[in-house]
Amino acid sequence: MARAVVPVTWRLDPALFEKVQTAARRRGMSVQAYASDALRRAVESERHLEPPTPREDPDAQWLGEDLSGLADLEPFDWGSEGPPDGDPVSFEPGVGFVTVGKRP
């Protein structure tokens, strides 16, 4: 793996620098080595920061399913407190959730 030296020219907030310095010391590292290691780990985990593709999105699966049989199911039992406050909504593909009326 090729190594590159990147000069750090920005100034850190003194309180933040002290935290970085303390963390580096605990690991027996210089501040530069600690910062380099943190940057390397951030780059390696970059793919985790990207939004999921529709295949990976668990909501996308049920949103694409045939839900026409939901009307055949028993009504949901909200318990003694009843349904939560708020207006009823409906999901419209390509639009999102929209209010379909007002509660009395």
- As a whole-number percent, the residues of the chain with pLDDT over 90 amount to 2
pTM flag (> 0.85): no
Looking at residue 55, its pLDDT comes to 60
| pLDDT tens-digit series, residues 36-76 | 888 888 777 776 666 656 566 666 677 777 888 888 888 88
Looking at residue 28, its pLDDT comes to 92
Distance CA 55, CA 33 (A): 38
23's CB contacts (< 8 A; 6+ apart) are 34
